[in-house]
Each structure stands twice: as C-alpha cells, then as structure tokens.
Amino acid sequence: MIIIIKPNTKKELVSSFVAELEKTPGLQAHLVDGLHTTIIGLVGDTSKIDIDNLRTSDIVEEVKRVQEPYKNANRKFHPDDTVVDIGGIKIGGSHFQVISGPCSVECEDQICEIARRVKAADSAFLRGGAFKPRTSPYAFQGLKAEGIELLLEAKKKTGLPIVTEIMDAAHLPLFENVDVIQVGARNMQNFELLKELGHTKKPILLKRGLANTIEEFLMSAEYIMAGGNENVILCERGIRTFETATRNTFDVSAIPVLKRLSHLPVVADPSHAGGISWLVEPLALAAVAAGADGLMIEVHNNPAKALSDGKQSLTPDEFYGVMLKIKAVLAALGKSIG
C-alpha cells in the first residue's frame, strides 16, 4: 500500500503516523522523503487496513492499494490449487466435476428420476433448489424443508451427493446432511449469511452476484474463509449487461482471471448465464476450454412443465449428449472427469 503525504507536513506528524501504522502486527512502513513529496510504502498483510479510514487523516493526500484486499482467497499466499473434498469426490486442481439437476425440487418422482439419469451421464453431484430466490413473490418458492428431504431421498437411491441453496442462516440446521451449500447470486453480498457459513466446515458453492466485480466476488469468498471455512468453490453464472438476447452475459474471462487471482476451484453455470437450453452446450464447452474446474447444469425430465427455469433446462437425453462433448473437450486438454 502506498500512502502519499500532503506537502509541507511536519516531520513529527509523519513520524507519529508511521508509529501508529506499525502498531498493527506484521506491517512495516518504509518512508521515502523527497524534496516536495513524502511517500510511505506499507508492506506486509494490508488486507485488514481500512483504506477509507486512512484517507480521513489530515496529513494524507492519497492512498493506493498495490495488493488485493483479500488474503485467504489470494493465490499469492497459497500458490497451489485448493482441492475441495466432498466425501471423497474432489473438485479443483486436476479434478473436474459436473453438478446437475433441476432448478427446483418438485416431487419425489421428478428428483429421483433426474438423479438417476444425470448419474448415468457421469454427473458427480445432484443439484436442486428447495429454497428458491424468485423475482416474483407469486412464483413457486420451492418445497423448502420437504425439498431437502426429497434430495436426501434421491441421494439414498443414487449415491449422488447433493447441492442446494441456502437463503437464510436460520435454516442452517435443515442443511446438516446437505453435502454442498449453495449461496445464490442474489445473496453473494449477504455478509451475515457468509459469516455464518464461515463458521461451518461445509463446502460452499458461492455464485457471483448479478452485477458484482471479480474483486467483490473474491471478497465474499474471503468473508467465508475469514471465519475458518476454506472449502469454497466459486461459480461464474453470468452477469447483467446491456444485452437482452441472453438472460445474462456469460463472463468467460472471469474463469481464467479468478484462477489467476485465487487458488479456489472455479465452476461455471452455463444454464443461468445463457438462460436458453440451446446455449448451454456452447457456453459449457467454452467454460471447459477456459479452464473451469467444473460445471453446474440444469436438467429437467419435462422442461416444458418445470416450475422454474424450464426454458434453460436440458432434457436428460440432451444432457447426455452435452456430457459427451464436455468429455471430448476435456480430453483435448489432457483432462477427464473425476
């Protein structure tokens, strides 16, 4: 961090300012005293420094960060890829996995049938929303606790670990047997929820907010990790832009950027990114080619009758076909599922 001191500031004021900065353990301040300008180079872990607070000091002209404001999620402090282990199924590093299933859990037959079909296509996880964040309060809100019970039933039948979204920390007891807790795009900056999840050891699939920068996304991961939970998987699911031809704009560049900045696994969700079933295949393949560690894909046994997101859902047969192409792209990169 670079702190530029206002011209003609008394040396004693600068010295006491430096002494104050160095009270934070692990921080060293290096003073560069020029003819007209004094600069302080602050090195060490500056992630806990409040930059706005520094700017309010009477002697400070400007403050510039030269290091990212996140530490736990930062690849600089953790060069090796993080591999998240979910009951023996690994994701990250050399491990690529697919998470698939319906947008919403609707009934036992629906979730069990889809689970059986996606498992046959080599999906490692079953997804399904029980608590649904819907734009309209009149739209289907999910089966809630019953939805989680039905996912557990499908898990019992197929052995597939389950991924489902949490919207309120008060619901955490219901998620005790859920394998991966999803934080949806709309809750990416629900900091109280993130803090609560940081106090658990559950793997967390954190989706990027609709209109959030990559740095904000990584700061949200940092919230979870700062509480002691290192099991975070990032999910790029498209961002809002001026474009209306697709539901969101798939930010494919976020995948290599996130992987460069962070050691956390990165998966992509082409279903919510494109919002149309025929777009899922090209976006999924682009994500794999860009280096994603996994994919989340919505699959429904009867998309036309789905209670949410039917338009972007693949049928099990279509999913099987897309999985073959995903495997082909992985093979071209010298990778495979698993």
d(CA 158, CA 154): 6
Give, as ranges, the residues between 251 and 290 that touch ligand PEP (CB under 6 A).
Answer: 269, 272
**CB 312, min distance to Mn ion, A:** 7
Residue 247 contacts ligand PEP per CB under 6 A: no
> Which residue number places its CB atom closest to Mn ion?
103
**CB 42, min distance to Mn ion, A:** 44
Give the angle 157-158-159 at the CA atoms, nearest 5°.
105
Sole residue written with tokens 């832009």: 241
Q: Which residues contact 171 (CB under 8 A, 6 or more apart)?
A: 131
Could you say which of 98, 103, 252, 264 contacts ligand PEP (CB under 6 A)? 103
Q: What is the DSSP letter of 134?
A: -
Element (DSSP H or E) covering residue 335: none
Residue 237 contacts ligand PEP per CB under 6 A: yes
**Residue nearer to ligand PEP on the CB measure, 272 or 327:** 272
Pairing of strands 60-64, 38-44: unpaired
Kindly state the tokens that stand for 138. Answer: 């009149």
> Which residue number places its CB atom closest to ligand PEP?
184
Q: Which does 26 bind (CB under 5 to 8 A by kind): Mn ion, ligand PEP, none?
A: none
- Which residues lie across from 204 on neighbouring strands? 181, 232
Give, as ranges, the residues between 154 and 193 that touch ligand PEP (CB under 6 A).
Answer: 184-186
Sole residue written with tokens 């279509």: 318
Could you say which of 90, 119, 155, 207 contacts ligand PEP (CB under 6 A)? 207
By CB under 6 A, the count of residues binding ligand PEP is 10
Residues engaged in binding ligand PEP (CB under 6 A):
103, 129, 133, 184-186, 207, 237, 269, 272
